[in-house]
Amino acid sequence: DPTPRFLYDLGQPVEEKVRAIATQIYGAEDIYIDPRARKKLRQFEDLGYGRLPVCIAKTQSSLSDDPRALGAPTGWTLTVTDILLSAGAGFLVVVCGNMMLMPGLGKEPAAVHMDVDDQGVITGLF
Protein backbone atom coordinates (compact mmCIF):
# COMPACT_ATOMS: atom_id res chain seq x y z
CA ASP A 1 0.00 0.00 0.00
CA PRO A 2 1.69 3.28 -1.11
CA THR A 3 -0.27 5.37 1.39
CA PRO A 4 2.11 6.76 4.03
CA ARG A 5 1.49 5.62 7.59
CA PHE A 6 2.79 7.92 10.29
CA LEU A 7 4.08 6.54 13.59
CA TYR A 8 2.28 9.11 15.66
CA ASP A 9 -0.42 11.73 15.53
CA LEU A 10 0.74 15.32 16.04
CA GLY A 11 -1.83 15.65 18.82
CA GLN A 12 -0.15 12.96 20.93
CA PRO A 13 2.05 14.06 23.83
CA VAL A 14 5.71 14.51 22.86
CA GLU A 15 6.75 11.66 25.16
CA GLU A 16 4.46 9.27 23.24
CA LYS A 17 5.87 10.50 19.91
CA VAL A 18 9.41 9.79 21.07
CA ARG A 19 8.40 6.40 22.48
CA ALA A 20 6.77 5.44 19.16
CA ILE A 21 9.95 6.21 17.21
CA ALA A 22 12.21 4.60 19.81
CA THR A 23 10.28 1.34 20.05
CA GLN A 24 8.95 0.93 16.50
CA ILE A 25 11.96 2.18 14.52
CA TYR A 26 15.04 1.91 16.76
CA GLY A 27 13.98 -1.25 18.64
CA ALA A 28 14.23 0.22 22.15
CA GLU A 29 12.34 -1.35 25.03
CA ASP A 30 11.31 2.07 26.35
CA ILE A 31 12.51 5.65 26.81
CA TYR A 32 13.89 7.57 29.79
CA ILE A 33 13.69 11.36 29.90
CA ASP A 34 16.31 13.07 32.06
CA PRO A 35 14.68 15.40 34.64
CA ARG A 36 16.24 18.51 33.07
CA ALA A 37 14.97 17.50 29.64
CA ARG A 38 11.54 16.74 31.12
CA LYS A 39 11.42 20.24 32.65
CA LYS A 40 12.21 21.81 29.26
CA LEU A 41 9.62 19.59 27.61
CA ARG A 42 6.96 20.79 30.05
CA GLN A 43 7.92 24.40 29.32
CA PHE A 44 7.66 23.87 25.55
CA GLU A 45 4.30 22.13 25.95
CA ASP A 46 3.04 24.96 28.20
CA LEU A 47 4.04 27.44 25.48
CA GLY A 48 1.98 25.51 22.91
CA TYR A 49 4.75 23.63 21.12
CA GLY A 50 3.62 20.14 22.14
CA ARG A 51 1.89 19.48 18.81
CA LEU A 52 5.09 19.87 16.79
CA PRO A 53 6.74 16.85 15.17
CA VAL A 54 9.95 15.56 16.73
CA CYS A 55 13.42 15.14 15.25
CA ILE A 56 15.65 12.75 17.18
CA ALA A 57 19.37 13.55 17.40
CA LYS A 58 21.47 10.53 18.37
CA THR A 59 24.62 8.70 17.38
CA GLN A 60 24.93 7.51 13.79
CA SER A 61 26.86 4.42 14.89
CA SER A 62 23.92 2.53 16.37
CA LEU A 63 20.16 2.38 16.42
CA SER A 64 20.57 3.02 20.15
CA ASP A 65 21.89 6.17 21.81
CA ASP A 66 25.18 4.40 22.68
CA PRO A 67 27.82 4.64 19.92
CA ARG A 68 29.53 1.50 21.29
CA ALA A 69 26.39 -0.63 20.84
CA LEU A 70 26.89 -1.13 17.13
CA GLY A 71 24.13 -2.20 14.79
CA ALA A 72 20.70 -3.00 16.21
CA PRO A 73 21.08 -3.84 19.91
CA THR A 74 18.22 -5.28 21.96
CA GLY A 75 16.99 -4.75 25.51
CA TRP A 76 17.98 -1.09 25.83
CA THR A 77 16.30 2.17 26.83
CA LEU A 78 16.59 5.37 24.78
CA THR A 79 17.86 8.14 27.06
CA VAL A 80 16.62 11.65 26.27
CA THR A 81 19.21 14.10 27.62
CA ASP A 82 17.90 17.37 26.19
CA ILE A 83 15.06 18.83 24.15
CA LEU A 84 15.52 21.86 21.93
CA LEU A 85 12.93 23.97 20.16
CA SER A 86 13.35 24.80 16.48
CA ALA A 87 10.31 27.06 16.34
CA GLY A 88 11.09 28.52 12.92
CA ALA A 89 11.52 25.10 11.35
CA GLY A 90 8.52 23.79 13.28
CA PHE A 91 9.86 20.83 15.26
CA LEU A 92 11.34 19.76 18.58
CA VAL A 93 14.86 18.29 18.59
CA VAL A 94 15.06 15.40 21.03
CA VAL A 95 18.73 14.89 21.95
CA CYS A 96 19.60 11.34 23.02
CA GLY A 97 22.74 10.13 24.75
CA ASN A 98 25.91 12.20 24.61
CA MET A 99 25.49 14.25 21.46
CA MET A 100 27.42 17.29 20.33
CA LEU A 101 25.27 19.31 17.99
CA MET A 102 26.86 21.41 15.28
CA PRO A 103 26.08 25.11 15.40
CA GLY A 104 23.89 26.64 12.75
CA LEU A 105 25.39 28.82 10.07
CA GLY A 106 24.83 32.53 9.71
CA LYS A 107 22.82 34.04 6.87
CA GLU A 108 25.97 35.14 5.08
CA PRO A 109 28.82 32.60 4.77
CA ALA A 110 32.32 33.80 5.70
CA ALA A 111 33.44 32.81 2.19
CA VAL A 112 31.62 35.86 0.82
CA HIS A 113 34.31 38.05 2.39
CA MET A 114 37.29 35.95 1.24
CA ASP A 115 39.31 36.72 -1.85
CA VAL A 116 42.58 35.94 -3.60
CA ASP A 117 44.14 38.82 -5.53
CA ASP A 118 46.27 38.65 -8.69
CA GLN A 119 49.44 38.16 -6.62
CA GLY A 120 47.92 35.23 -4.72
CA VAL A 121 47.38 37.17 -1.49
CA ILE A 122 44.41 35.86 0.45
CA THR A 123 42.20 38.36 2.26
CA GLY A 124 39.13 38.12 4.44
CA LEU A 125 40.07 35.05 6.46
CA PHE A 126 39.81 36.78 9.83
Q: Is 115 contained in some domain?
A: no
Per-residue pLDDT, averaged over 23-46, amounts to 97
Structural domain span for residue 78: 14-102
Whether the per-residue pLDDT at 99 is higher than 90: the answer is: no
Asked if residue 62 is part of any domain, the answer here is yes
Q: pLDDT-derived band of residue 1, with 50, 70 and 90 as boundaries?
A: confident
- What is the tally of structural domains in the chain? 1
> pTM, whole model, 2 decimals?
0.77
Q: Is residue 60 part of a domain?
A: yes
Has residue 93 been placed in a domain?
A: yes
Cα pseudo-dihedral 71, 82, 92, 5, rounded to 10: 30
Contacts of residue 18, defined as CB under 8 A and 6 or more positions apart, other chains included, come to 31, 33, 54, 56, 78, 80, 94
In this prediction, residue 100 carries a pLDDT of: 79
Supply the pLDDT for residue 83: 97
Question: Please, what is the average pLDDT of the chain?
Answer: 92
Q: Which CATH number goes with the domain that contains 69? A: 3.10.410.10
Q: pLDDT by residue (tens digit) across 42-85? A: 999 999 999 999 999 998 888 888 888 988 889 999 999 999 99
